[in-house]
A and B are shown apart, each in its own frame.
Chain A
Amino acid sequence: MPFDSRVDQHMKRSSSVIAALLCLLATSASAADIPTDFLKTHCYECHDTQSKQGDLDLSTFKFDDASRENFERWVKIHDRIESGEMPPREQPRPAQADKNAAINVLKQSLIKVERARLDDGGRTGVRRMTRAEYENTVRDLFQMSGIPLQGELPVDGSAHGFDKNSDALDISHVNLTKYVEAADRTLDMAIATRPKPPTSIRRRISLANAGGFVAHVLTNGDGILLKNKKPDPDFPPAGDQGHIDEGAHERMGSFRNGASVGLFRHEDESFHPYFIEHVTLYPGRYRMRTSLWSFQWDKGTVLPGRGTEAARLSVVQLSGDGRGGGHPSYVLGYYDAPSMQEQEHEVVHWLNYKEIIGFNTASLAPVANYSRKGRAMAFTGPGIVCDWFDIEGPLHDVWPPVSHQQLFGDLPVTEFRAADHPNVRPPKRTPVRREVGAGKNEPEKEEGVWTVQSEQPFVDADRLLATFLPKAFRRPVDAETRQFYVTKVDDRLKAGDCFESAMRWAYRAALCSPDFLYHIEPAGQLDDFSLASRLSYFLWNSIPDDRLIELAAKVQLRTPEILRGEVERMLNNPRSQRFVEDFLGQWLKLRQIASTDPDRKLYPEFSAYLQDSMVAETRAYFRELVNQNLGASYLIKSDFAMINEKLAVHYEIPGVSGSQIRRVALPADCPRGGFLTQAAILKITANGTTTSPVPRGAFVMARLLGQPPDPPPANITAIEPDVRGTKTIREQLDKHRTDMVCASCHAKMDPPGFALEAFDVIGGFRDRYRSIGDGDPAPRGSIDPFIGIGFKLGPAVDPSSDLPDGRSFKNVQEFQSLIASDTHRLLKNLAEQLAIYGTGRDIAFADRDQITTIVANAERDGGGIRTLIHQVIQSSFFQTR
């Protein structure tokens, strides 16, 4: 059935709902029951017409089916009674039976009201793909693993904590324009326009390659050339006299004589080391290899280094705006450089047009010799050496590439000769150009116009679309829908387009169609194809693979055992890393990791390497919880951490060497490990300069405990933390907490925040606040000796507090133990987060029983996180729209 017809049906249903809602509005008096006797006995004392505490008069407050606000308030009343928060602790406790009865009355009333309001045609609204889903879908559909698309699409909104919710996924003419452009870019890259692949070129590049910035700093002593682990006699280290005239050195081949390049200087605003002799012309997979090691430089002598250093390789996009501090880039990886021992690293990665590889001495402190007397010959400190960097590609296993075969099957690519095709327009071609002079790659000469050709275009079009459309639309495509595209191909052929252009038109239309862009799901229980898609976009953030579609076609996917097997297969597939990254990016707000820059005076040890390590830790930790099926307590407290050397030093955990994240057993009483005390979470919940218990507490409540606090009342000004070292945030908050308006929320929100005061804005442990005003001299601790310290130690940190239930804690470890013991609460919250993320809808009041069932089943089976994921997917909540 074409999409239009389905939309019509949906609209008809929506109209019915709107009509029903209008009727409700006209007669908003509700038939919902209220446990009046219970409220009278236990609540009226504070919430009747006279007292009306919290602006709530329960003696007159009734259900109003038409009011969302009224509904939310009744939910809150239900929740407070259920949790025991109300009546307050100092009041007589209601009998359990009375409480249960009252709760049940309220629950049934709320469900009744909600069901009347909600569309029975499906809770999950019709939603388009997110930017990430779109990009992954295209990458997997065409097997073009690195085509960049999401950066050009408008940013998605967010609802209920995730961008997958239909409430967040609006669409505008801007989206549509961008989808057309993205489809064109996809087809440009997917279609083979030449009879054989671009020649795979292998190039060895010195880090001191011309145009790559490094040669310049070598001449000034921020690096050296080495041969056989000794200074290159042809290029002595710069001392009092630096090398003169970089151009003369380039011409003399000083940087092309096979010497290794040792760097002391870190990437900074005016120094961006690039391997710019390779500027990608032909998108595709490239094999990259490099040899790295490290050393200690002592005024002209190479000595063993302090340990394993880390170098960063990044993909730099010269197509972006390079003004004001480097071009856009993303990290390819961090690679070990052991002391005096060369280590080779290899990575195969997709590169796009005008992308190059950047280098950074990631683990070194920012050091600059160029303006110091004696330059390199007066410097003692660590350095990282790059012997060479090899790049080879583009690598093509088959030609035409799979992307082309997805579109044109095995039809031959032949030369288009105009004489053979009178009145037919050839396909448009844009020649590949070399736009960056420093790049040595040259475009290959292309003779003639090569294109896919068909002897029987109408038949081939029908055949090709019959294969492509079901893959792209993730479900069987009926003849009527296919005919729509085939007819258009025929129209274009009649209008004089060649076969490729006519087919391209159809493919572009398909890639911009709602069938492709939207998740089309039937009302009620999902069919197997919808389930395959929902599953795939949950765990892979992308299109289902052939296996899932095959099972869906056999109507086997919903069989619990088969579904379980598929979930296992998908979680074990590297694509599930997309789930880890996308889910954590939103659940724990990892996407916001770079939204604040820590104050350089207060936190001089912060670096991009530390920040990237923080993110890697949180991702690896979640992955470990899933892989090892660990329980919910590990969300808060752990006996291991997933860290590298950088984080180990930051956390003051000894015995970890190298850049790679690995599982490390923690010493007893170490507060690290769980999400709660991971540096990424602690950075995200701080503002870069100071911490505040309020946002951190709110984060813990909302994200880890599933009890988001109410927004602050209007006209309440935020507390400005004092960095002069005179007053702690606790002292400032105490005044705030005595205010009755604020107290009830802060009683819940502040304790987690107080516990986390033991950590600074970059997640370092502290027992005193750092200060840029008053205070005592700060010891260096684990801070790199090349980093200057300008801060002082101010007032002591007090991480103790009381939980709303009266239990108290002295420090963060005690807080962790208290919270981690409530595994049910932690598991329930994670179930809700996974369910919202996986289905694209929020948890309604009426859904609570389903979540309870999911959690109960998970607990029955051991309470592991992987088990929980299975239970979410096996649930009717997940398997209905």
Chain B
Amino acid sequence: MIHLIRAVFLLLCCVAVSSTSRAEDAPAGNVTAKHQITGLFAPDREQDLQAVFEKLPDIKLIKIDFENAEATVQYDSAKAFPGAKLEQIVERFDNLVRGASNHTFGVKPLRTIDKEKLKRIEIAVAGLDCKACCLAAYEAVFRLKGVECATASFKEGRVTALIDPEMIDKVELETALKQRGVEVKLP
């Protein structure tokens, strides 16, 4: 019996080693990359994002594209994400940004869906002009499947979302906002 267990264990080890060896190493040297940034729900969040990157000395923020909620960054993966394989970079990057921003920003791969297929939804809202309330409203809609991009501003009384109309509609967005305590204005 013990021989059988040892054999199974050995086999599992071999499989693990071979699968690991198939992972692609991250490219060496400085890399410039573009990622989608979550939590970028208002223009003044650009400043907050810059402050976050100041806490990450191994990653340089090159450019913020607020319209598309994207950021261009530069890093040496060996320094910024030591030991990471290529497919682990985004996850490791996300963890770093979340940690540095107290979980108000995050990193995702660039969206793959064609922007022209997306639909922009605008919802009128009422409430406190408070950045944290906006974050809450933003997260209420952004976490929904089919939402690719979102903004929230109580000052302007508006929540916007770029959605895949095949997956979600405005009513679902409004429901999510109401559930979070946001007062949705009637048209």
Q: Does A251 contact B (CB under 8 A)?
A: yes
**Is B130 a contact partner of A234 (Cβ separation < 8 A)?**
yes
Best-buried of A236, A244, A247, A249 by chain B (most CB within 10 Å): A244
Which secondary structure dominates chain A's binding surface? Answer: loop
B155 to chain A, nearest CB (A): 11
Chain A residues within an 8 Å CB radius of B183: 241
Q: Does B133 contact A (CB under 8 A)?
A: yes
List 21 A–B pairs whose Cβ atoms lie within 8 Å, in order of A's numbering. Answer: A234-B131, A235-B132, A236-B128, A236-B130, A239-B128, A243-B128, A243-B132, A244-B136, A244-B180, A245-B132, A245-B136, A248-B132, A248-B135, A249-B130, A249-B136, A251-B102, A251-B104, A251-B132, A252-B135, A254-B131, A254-B132
Interface residues of B (CB under 8 A from A): 102-104, 126-133, 135-137, 139, 180-183
**What CA separation (Å) do A241 and B178 show in the bound complex?**
12
Chain B residues within an 8 Å CB radius of A254: 130-132
Q: Does A443 contact B (CB under 8 A)?
A: no
Chain B residues within an 8 Å CB radius of A191: none
Task: Tally A-B pairs: CB < 8 A.
Answer: 57
8 Å CB contact of B127 from A244, A249, A251? A244
B135 to chain A, nearest CB (A): 5
**What CA separation (Å) do A153 and B138 show in the bound complex?**
56
**What CA separation (Å) do A126 and B115 show in the bound complex?**
92
8 Å CB contact of B129 from A236, A248, A251? A236
Chain B residues within an 8 Å CB radius of A244: 127, 133, 136-137, 180-182
Chain A residues within an 8 Å CB radius of B180: 244-245
Map CB proximity to B onto A236-268 as digits: 1 under 8 Å, 0 otherwise: 101101111101110111100000000000000
Best-buried of A239, A243, A251 by chain B (most CB within 10 Å): A251
**Is B133 a contact partner of A248 (Cβ separation < 8 A)?**
yes
**Is A248 a contact partner of B139 (Cβ separation < 8 A)?**
yes
Task: Given contacts A235-B130, A252-B131, A254-B131, list 9 more A-B pairs with CB under 8 A.
Answer: A235-B132, A236-B130, A241-B126, A243-B130, A244-B136, A244-B182, A248-B132, A252-B132, A254-B132
**Is B128 a contact partner of A253 (Cβ separation < 8 A)?**
no
A379 to chain B, nearest CB (A): 16
Chain A residues within an 8 Å CB radius of B135: 245, 248, 251-252
**What CA separation (Å) do A531 and B129 show in the bound complex?**
72
**What CA separation (Å) do A236 and B133 show in the bound complex?**
11
Chain B residues within an 8 Å CB radius of A249: 130, 132-133, 136
Interface residues of A (CB under 8 A from B): 234-236, 238-239, 241-245, 247-249, 251-254
8 Å CB contact of A252 from B104, B129, B137? B104
**What CA separation (Å) do A254 and B133 show in the bound complex?**
10
**Is B181 a contact partner of A242 (Cβ separation < 8 A)?**
yes
Nearest first, the 3 closest Cβ-Cβ pairs linking A and B are A245-B136, A248-B136, A252-B132
Chain B residues within an 8 Å CB radius of A234: 130-131
Chain A residues within an 8 Å CB radius of B129: 236
CB closest residue in chain A, given B104: A251
**What CA separation (Å) do A243 and B128 show in the bound complex?**
7
**Is B102 a contact partner of A243 (Cβ separation < 8 A)?**
no
**What CA separation (Å) do A238 and B132 show in the bound complex?**
13
**Is A245 a contact partner of B131 (Cβ separation < 8 A)?**
no
**Is B128 a contact partner of A238 (Cβ separation < 8 A)?**
yes
**Is A241 a contact partner of B127 (Cβ separation < 8 A)?**
yes
**What CA separation (Å) do A242 and B183 show in the bound complex?**
10
**Is B133 a contact partner of A243 (Cβ separation < 8 A)?**
yes
B178 to chain A, nearest CB (A): 11
**What CA separation (Å) do A247 and B181 show in the bound complex?**
13
**What CA separation (Å) do A243 and B127 show in the bound complex?**
8
**What CA separation (Å) do A245 and B127 show in the bound complex?**
13
Chain B residues within an 8 Å CB radius of A245: 132-133, 135-136, 139, 180-181
B49 to chain A, nearest CB (A): 13
**Is A253 a contact partner of B137 (Cβ separation < 8 A)?**
no
Chain A residues within an 8 Å CB radius of B127: 241, 244
CB closest residue in chain A, given B98: A251
CB closest residue in chain B, given A248: B136
Chain B residues within an 8 Å CB radius of A247: 136
**Is A251 a contact partner of B130 (Cβ separation < 8 A)?**
no
**What CA separation (Å) do A247 and B127 show in the bound complex?**
17
**What CA separation (Å) do A244 and B128 show in the bound complex?**
9
CB closest residue in chain A, given B181: A244
**What CA separation (Å) do A253 and B136 show in the bound complex?**
13
**What CA separation (Å) do A241 and B104 show in the bound complex?**
22
Chain A residues within an 8 Å CB radius of B182: 244
**Is A251 a contact partner of B133 (Cβ separation < 8 A)?**
no
B46 to chain A, nearest CB (A): 15
Best-buried of B104, B133, B136, B139 by chain A (most CB within 10 Å): B133
B1 to chain A, nearest CB (A): 39
A502 to chain B, nearest CB (A): 47
**What CA separation (Å) do A236 and B130 show in the bound complex?**
7
CB closest residue in chain A, given B135: A248
Best-buried of B130, B180, B181 by chain A (most CB within 10 Å): B130
**Is B128 a contact partner of A251 (Cβ separation < 8 A)?**
no
**What CA separation (Å) do A868 and B7 show in the bound complex?**
92
**What CA separation (Å) do A243 and B183 show in the bound complex?**
11
**What CA separation (Å) do A238 and B154 show in the bound complex?**
14
**What CA separation (Å) do A863 and B129 show in the bound complex?**
71
Chain B residues within an 8 Å CB radius of A239: 128
**What CA separation (Å) do A25 and B1 show in the bound complex?**
87
CB closest residue in chain A, given B125: A241
**What CA separation (Å) do A744 and B135 show in the bound complex?**
78
